[in-house]
Chain A
Amino acid sequence: MKISGSYTLPLPPERTYQMMQDPEVLARAIPGCEGLEKTGEGEYRMKMQMALASLSGAFEGRVRITDQTPSLSFRLVVEGAGRIGFVKGEGLLKLRAADGGTEVSYEGEAQVGGTIAAVGQRLIDGTAKMMIKKFFEKFAEAAS
């Protein structure tokens, strides 16, 4: 499944970039996140709750941030597994100053497996879009 889109945040690119590397901010912004713990440079262990249609469950996984070009772009790699299946995703986030804020555009690919793939396939697209939207909204909240 391909994921792409953009969202404009009311913050300058430098600040946005900085906050996007801050585990505390991320933990507050990621929907369902129950803990984000730094395990190394650009590496985090994450616990989150996810719900998809009739399924819900805990996920545990790793988040890695690579290919960092401060204030401009970075790559996000997420891997998580739980009893309802697994999620793998990778995406490039680009930051660009726009209208006094920052336009964050993202492009990547996600793969799901296990029960969530078998049962929730038709809803994954919508759920992913909704979660991304929520993330940016909460992020904006955290920033203000």
Chain B
Amino acid sequence: MATTMTQTETFVGKRVRRREDPRLITGTATYVEDIQMPGMHYAVIVRSPHAAARIRSIKTKQAEAAPGVVAVYTGKDTERVGPVPCGASLPGLRVPHHHVLATDRVYFVGHPVAVVVATDRYLARDAADLVEVDYDVLPAVADPEKALAKGAPAVHPEWPDNTAFTFHQEGGDVDKAFAEADLVVKQRMTSQRLIPMALETRGVVAEWRGADRQLNLYTSTQIPHLVRTLVAQMLSLEENRMRVVTPEVGGGFGSKLNVYAEEALMGFVAMKINKPVKWIESRRENFLCTIHGRGHVDYYEVAAKRDGTILGIKLKIIQDLGAYHQLLTPAIPTLSVLMMPGLYKTKNVRADIVGVFTNCMPTDAYRGAGRPEATHGIERMVDLLADELKMDPAEIRLKNFVGKDEFPYATATGLMYDSGDYAAPLKKALEIVGYQKLRQEQIEARKQGKWMGIGISTYGEICAIGPSPATPAGGWESATVKIEPSGKVTVMTGACPHGQGEETTFAQITADELGVGLDDVLVIRGDTAIVQYGIGTFGSRATAIGGTALYFALQDLKAKIKKFGAMLLESEDVTFSAGQVTCNRTGKSKSLQEIAGASYRALKLPPETEPGLLATRFWEPPNFTFPFGAHIVVSDIDGETGQIKIRRYVAVDDCGNMINPLLVDGQVHGGVAQGLGQALWEQVVYDDNGQLVTGELMDYAVPRAHMMPWIENDHTTTPSPVNPLGVKGVGEAGTIGCSPAVVNSVVDALSPLGVRHIDMPLTPEKIWKLIAGGN
């Protein structure tokens, strides 16, 4: 047996390589698709090809008779399965009943209508074609603004105005601010629908052990415990009779922060056929019926004084919700409202949201969830204002930032920014990029007819989501630390990280607190039968909340270790450090391994102390955390082709203390890739009839490695006072900071043509047309 090394080397703050990578890059990790069971059956789902239709009839006889088919279920069979849940609540919210299989009507292309179960997945796929659905096709509406127009087809007949909710929030005195303004800049802008595009599509394996009355559900999710609670409810199954296991997850980005019809449906099927059943989402299904992101039309007005001081902001958001509410659908635009002042001091804001039903796949949380939209909006508006005032975009930002001595800072939208020094990353980024020199170069480039632009984005974001009053399921997180009799350490996190690297960072935190080696620590996640209840990983919360729960559990254990050490050393005057309890008088010490052994052997116990070394903590944060940063993009545009080349990408992020700067940079890289995707290439297109026309990777331009610019990462560090680790979160920062920096640089490049704004994505066609038209 390997011994537990006690050591003085510390790990927090170091660029430790990810311990999870070897299995991922050697193809030996286990995903849902890799799970095999004796007697496995396979499900294929029949989906609507129409965006809106009445179902006249469904004929399943032929499919049922097909080779290998054991069952075909339709909406009639699943009527008693509870609705797909919406966890968000807003005053007056209209919530359509979301059956797991359509009953009498379909509402979007891809709507599940029937499920075919066979002994072989290809036989199931062939038989699915034999299900005959007779549709009475109805008019559909796919555009949120068209859906609001009079006479538009009603997505849900009971609500002919297609309005799911309206939401109003106001702070300060907006009318006075606008009355006193020297100027008001206005702009309509969109944040287009996007496909989250996890490399691993969704997938579910359900196994019903009838004799034990036990349902085991293997699903690719960010929130296994919430899936258990909610799916058990849908199936009217006792929660303790259900186990959710989340093996490796090949990307989520918010799209797996959800409870999907297929999860309950596979549970239903397994319980019916009494055999394990597997459903793996195809890539085409992933386009059609895994949640989409964004889907905003925003109308901004910003009032300012001639010296550049922002006085007030008005914002109207039209949010394309799709046909149903998935878990958090209607809550996402409210995050945009919270974030709308950005890093700026204005106390006067007014926001109105109209949540609109369309005959499309529901939108929901996608990397950044509400904050990229808000940041894009305010950062574009600040540039428009600077342009109007002939001010430098860096200068106008520095003028309006909340000052570093003003924290904690109460925003007009009801938030309390925890800590910050907003000028610091901007100044650093300006210096790294060589801003003044670039502006000189730009003057020369313009003389030569070249299109060169410099774009700045200074973002703030709401992370560590969140305190329980702000998070539908509870905003805390849990951790258990067990020190085994051998001294080895097992950490169980309720956060269920799935690619964020907590197997490494949580081991770093644990190793430092206990004075053990990284390899002595095992981090377990993603199994409700092993791990105590947890909330999950989303909203850049795993380290700031889950890590803090871990930190407090470790403090509990350290106190207990000290007690055992003191008992064994027969001294009250002891210190625990570097994995040793040492008597301060004699210098004698006991190792963690010896203490662990003694705590389980329990021949003798310290006063009022139980045997064993195990601690569990549920930590509720008192506030969000608010990371920030500055991204600067230098772009060159080919006037002949409209192609944008990103020459420089400088990202200076402040996410508080960094447990592992290597992983922080990785998160920023990934975030920027998805931000660039939105800024330059990606967009979901539905035609007027609600047909998804960007239905595969040939038509939906997700960034490839060769399309990425070199990213120059740097940081400033402003610890958060919200948690003892001083961490803030960085999972979404790259995405949030990216898109406005890119668009600002391209608008800057084309400003000699009088271009003020361009909606994303900035495709070469769009850019070429602007240049060609301008010439």
- What residues make up the interface of A, taking CB atoms closer than 8 Å to B? 81, 83, 85-86, 111-115, 117-119, 121-122
Q: What are 20 A-B pairs with beta-carbon distances under 8 A?
A: A81-B49, A83-B129, A86-B50, A111-B691, A112-B691, A113-B51, A113-B689, A113-B691, A114-B49, A114-B109, A114-B691, A115-B49, A115-B284, A115-B695, A117-B695, A118-B692, A118-B696, A119-B284, A119-B695, A119-B699
Residues of A close to B691: CB separation below 8 A: 111-114, 117-118
- B687 on the interface (CB 8 Å rule)? yes
- B178 on the interface (CB 8 Å rule)? no
- B179 on the interface (CB 8 Å rule)? no
**What's the interface size class on B, roughly?**
10 to 19
Contact call B695/A86, Cβ cutoff below 8 A = no
Q: A113–B111 Cα gap in the complex (Å)?
A: 13
CB-nearest residue of chain A relative to B688?
A: A111
Which of B109, B129, B694 makes the CB contact (< 8 A) with A113? B109
Given contacts A112-B691, A113-B50, contact A118 B129 (CB under 8 A): no
B359 to chain A, nearest CB (A): 12
B208 to chain A, nearest CB (A): 31
- B288 on the interface (CB 8 Å rule)? yes
Residues of A close to B695: CB separation below 8 A: 115, 117-119, 121
Beta-carbon contacts of B672-700 to A below 8 Å, as 1s and 0s?
00000000000000010101111110110
Residues of B close to A119: CB separation below 8 A: 284, 695-696, 698-699
Within 8 A of A (CB), among B284-336: 284, 287-288
Q: A112–B50 Cα gap in the complex (Å)?
A: 10
Residues of B close to A118: CB separation below 8 A: 109, 284, 287-288, 691-696
A20 to chain B, nearest CB (A): 27
A104 to chain B, nearest CB (A): 28
Contact call A122/B699, Cβ cutoff below 8 A = yes
CB-nearest residue of chain B relative to A114?
A: B49
Within 8 A of A (CB), among B18-57: 49-51
B82 to chain A, nearest CB (A): 29
Residues of A close to B693: CB separation below 8 A: 117-118, 121
- What residues make up the interface of B, taking CB atoms closer than 8 Å to A? 49-51, 109, 129, 284, 287-288, 687, 689, 691-696, 698-699
Q: A9–B288 Cα gap in the complex (Å)?
A: 44
Residues of A close to B129: CB separation below 8 A: 83
Q: A81–B695 Cα gap in the complex (Å)?
A: 19
B69 to chain A, nearest CB (A): 16
Q: A119–B51 Cα gap in the complex (Å)?
A: 16
B355 to chain A, nearest CB (A): 26
Contact call B699/A121, Cβ cutoff below 8 A = yes
Q: A119–B129 Cα gap in the complex (Å)?
A: 18
Q: A115–B288 Cα gap in the complex (Å)?
A: 10
Contact call A111/B288, Cβ cutoff below 8 A = no
A112 to chain B, nearest CB (A): 7
B380 to chain A, nearest CB (A): 30
Q: A94–B353 Cα gap in the complex (Å)?
A: 50
Q: A121–B129 Cα gap in the complex (Å)?
A: 22
Residues of B close to A115: CB separation below 8 A: 49, 284, 695
Q: A113–B359 Cα gap in the complex (Å)?
A: 14
Q: A117–B699 Cα gap in the complex (Å)?
A: 11
Q: A93–B696 Cα gap in the complex (Å)?
A: 35
Residues of B close to A121: CB separation below 8 A: 693-695, 699
Q: A114–B687 Cα gap in the complex (Å)?
A: 12
Q: A112–B695 Cα gap in the complex (Å)?
A: 13
Residues of A close to B694: CB separation below 8 A: 118, 121
